[in-house]
Amino acid sequence: MDFGVLLGLAYNQFVAELHEHLAEHGFTDLRPTFGYAFKVLAIGPITTSGLAAKLEITPQGAAKTVEEMVAAGYVERVPDPADGRVKMLHLTDAARALMAVAHDFHVDYERRMAAELGEARVATLREALTAVVARSDSPEGLARTLRQL
């Protein structure tokens, strides 16, 4: 099997297990771009156009994602105190709970891999993957490409 295909399949397996874990905790209404948007919104409130810029997607794509996140109860629009015409996007408690469950999964996944494969092998894998990502001039651009898959 080609190495790149193997990496892609491993990532897909990770995501499948993550979504299964989230579903077990009641989070079943997720879209592929939600996680990336949550990471941006966790830094602080932002406008839809600001979110589009950070995610390197079109304003229309960001607006669609925001609509889906609002409908799912993960984001709310709050008037900007400085300019009531501007709506700032805020994560809801449900989104923060989802992020905490996802973070716990990430930590546990790596812990389970270390138990199965050995800590040294997992540390080496982490180093290798980090080195591959570090070769990019724009890790954010890599994430944008990943969102399109």
User: Does the pLDDT at position 75 exceed 90?
Assistant: yes
For residues 128 and 132, give the distance between their C-alpha atoms in angstroms, rounded to a whole number: 6
Residues 88 and 49: their CA atoms lie apart, in Å, by: 10
Number of domains in the chain: 1
For residues 104 and 93, give the distance between their C-alpha atoms in angstroms, rounded to a whole number.
17
Q: Which CATH number fits the domain that encloses residue 52?
A: 1.10.10.10
What is the token pair recorded at 96?
A: 């923060």
- Mean pLDDT of all residues belonging to the chain: 91
Per the CB < 8 A criterion, the answer to whether 42 and 85 are in contact is: no
Domain hosting residue 79, numbered range: 3-147
pLDDT tens by residue, 10-49? 999 999 999 999 999 999 989 888 998 999 999 999 999 9
What is residue 141's predicted lDDT score, i.e. its pLDDT? 57
pLDDT at 6: 94
